[in-house]
Structure 1
Amino acid sequence: MTATDIAIVGVGKIARDQHIPSITKNDAFRLAATVSRHSEVDGVENFATIEELLEQRPDIPAVALCMPPQNRFDAAWTAIKAGRHVLLEKPPGATIAEVQALVEAARDKGVALFATWHSRYAAAVPSAKAWLAERKVESARITWKEDVRRWHPGQEWIWQPGGLGVFDPGINALSILTEILPQPVRVTSAELEFPEGRDAPIGAQLQFAGASGETVSADFDWRQTGPQTWDIDVLTNDGTLKLSSGGAEMTVDQKVVIQEADSEYDGIYARFATVVAERAIDVDLAPLVHVADAFMLGRRIAVDAFDM
């Protein structure tokens, strides 16, 4: 099998920690170039802009966009119009409308578009989905608390409009929730905690309801130090399921069923290989819709200033 050349646009922490290692391990892809004004990868050709990449390297058919969501639309639009396949880091965009526009553009050009939700590729998520499919969900609780200083050092874009704030990690939980629940739920209320001088929340509490009476609560917090918490508990008519460690571990009635190491981005690139081969569009906006609804319904609560 001949590897597909791919370029990474935006060489930051997530690209170095996750994308590059997974591309290296996947025989379907070869990292052929990068686009960054401030960082390079040893031994890989770098360009200052995506326009330069597209003009000078017409032989690279695919790009992975790893820059902040506020800047992603223009790059994705430009790449699609140039006939390239596009992978979008999560969240896929700063607004729902811009992602919908990218879907239409990709469909018109006949190129692949993949909006990734890396937490859906955690080891236990498929098994959790299958287990819940045979049961009636009564309620669920999301507890997603981490230290923003640890995971986003010096990254001010997360506090700006479109950066999502605590929903940057929180949307990972929502991507799992929308994948594993047999029936969809909707946001019914939200409280959003905004630090003084920040345009995005540092904490959020959401309530959801489903058509069959099921309820979901979510507690997102970016101020947790020490051990990090990424848990989803689901109560059903036939036992309680718990996903821990962001979906890497699954227990049923407190008995461990699955416990595996992180392989999320390996799963993303395995899926992208199929999406590219089929020139498919794989874009699920459900997690982003929940975040948008939370902002629409959310009651704003002012909290103390927070410095990075």
Structure 2
Amino acid sequence: MQPINIAIAGFGKIARDQHLPAIQADPNYRLVAIADPHASLSGVPNFPSLDALLENLPELDAVALCTPPQLRHSQACQALAAGKHVMLEKPPGATLSEVEDIKASATRANRSLFASWHSRYAPAVGHAAAWLSERRIERVNIEWKEDVRHWHPGQTWLWEPGGMGVFDPGINALSIATAILPRPFFLQTASLSVPENCQTPIAASLTFSDRDGLPIGAEFDFLQTGPQTWDIHVDTSVGRMTLAQGGSQLWIDDKLEYEGKDREYPGLYERFSQLIRTGQSDVDVTPLRHVADAFLNGRRTVAAPFSDSA
């Protein structure tokens, strides 16, 4: 079987640290180009734009879009119209309506579209979903707190409309919760703390509930120093299950039941190749919908100005 000729559009930190090694390690792919006006990679052709990439590489099969979400709609539709399969980094677009239009474009082009949620491929997530499927869930508490200055230095687009602020990591937690909990859940309240010099929140406190009244709380913070917290606690009739370290560890009460190696992005690319080979798409917008609900219904408070150098 011939490898899939793939290019990366947008070659920033996530693309370099995660997408590139995942592609290089997967025999299903051949990396054939990079498209970025400010970054390049030796050993493959480099193009300043997606336009130039599509014009000069007719043998290209697929594009991984790692550009900021504000650019995803036009770029995805352009790549699909050119007959290319498309993977969308999370979030899949700046708005829900844009993602719906991208889906329609993929259908018209008869090409595979993958809205990727990398945290769902953390090693313990599947184990957590299986464990919870056989227990009665009583309460869920999500804690997703990290240091934005460490993980996203200089990424000013995070603080502009469409950048999502603390929901950029927070949506990872929501992508896991929507995968492991057995029923859909819905926003009840949201409190968003927005720096006075920014357009997006630096912290958020959310409550959700499903149709049976299950209480679900989430605390997101972009100013956590010291140890970072990426945990989901689920109280059940037989004890507490905790997905820790972003989904890499599964704890039952105080006992570590499972810990696996990081294969989030390799898992994404395995899934993408399956979709391409079988002519399917996978476009779940549920995590993005929860974020949109928080922006729509959240109560905003003004926080101190944010500076990368503080």
- TM-score bracket, shorter-length normalisation: over 0.9
Superposition deviation, residue 279 in structure 1: 1.9
TM superposition shift of 1:239: 2.0
Do structure 1's residue 240 and structure 2's residue 240 form an aligned pair? yes
Q: CA deviation at 1:48?
A: 1.1
Aligned to 2:192: 192
TM-score normalized by the length of structure 2: 0.98
* Residues 165-180 of structure 1 aligned to structure 2 (within 5 Å): 165-180=165-180
1:125 aligns with 2:125: yes
The code of the aligned residue for 1:288 comes to: L
Match of 1:28 in 2: 28
Q: What one-letter code is carried by the residue in structure 1 that aligns with 2:283?
A: V
How is 1:1-308 mapped onto 2 (pairs within 5 angstroms)?
1-308=1-308
Q: Deviations over 1:51-98 (max 9, x none)?
A: 111111010110000011011111101001111000000000000000
Name stretches of at least 5 consecutive residues in structure 2 with no aligned partner.
none
Q: Aligned equivalents of 2:214 and 2:122: distance in 1?
A: 24
How far off is 1:255 after superposition? 1.2
Q: Per the alignment, in what secondary structure is the counterpart of residue 6 of structure 1?
A: strand
The alignment's TM-score, normalised by the length of structure 1, stands at: 0.99
Contact map agreement 1:138 1:213 (CA 8 A) in 2:
no
**After the TM superposition, which segments of 4 or more aligned residues of structure 1 sit over 3 Å from their partners?**
none
Give the Cα separation in 2 of the matches to 1:138 and 1:292.
Answer: 26
String of CA shifts for 1:264-290, please: whole Å, max 9, x gaps: 001000101101111211010110010
Q: Report percent identity of matched pairs.
A: 51
Q: Distance in 2 between matches of 1:246 and 1:300?
A: 27
Helix, strand or coil for the counterpart of 1:223? coil
Q: Report SS of the residue matched to 1:281.
A: coil
- Give per-residue Cα distances to partners, 1:186-238, cap 9 Å, x unaligned: 01000000001100000000000111121100000000111110000001122
Query: Secondary structure in 1 aligned to 2:165?
Result: coil
- Counterpart-to-counterpart distance in 2, 1:180 and 1:215: 15
SS in 2 for 1:293: helix
Alpha-carbon distance in structure 1 between the residues aligned to 2:225 and 2:239? 32
Deviation sequence 1:119-158 (CA, Å, 0-9, x none): 0000000010011111121110000000001111111000
C-alpha deviation, 1:30, in angstroms = 1.1
Distance 1:103 1:163 in 2: 21
Q: Does the Cα contact within 8 Å between 1:195 and 1:302 map onto a contact in 2?
A: yes
Between the aligned partners of 2:9 and 2:3, the Cα distance in structure 1 is: 19
Residue 2 of structure 1: CA displacement?
2.1
Question: Aligned equivalents of 2:71 and 2:104: distance in 1?
Answer: 19
Secondary structure class of the residue paired with 1:265: helix
Q: Secondary structure at the match of 1:191?
A: strand
Query: One-letter code of the match for 1:259?
Result: E
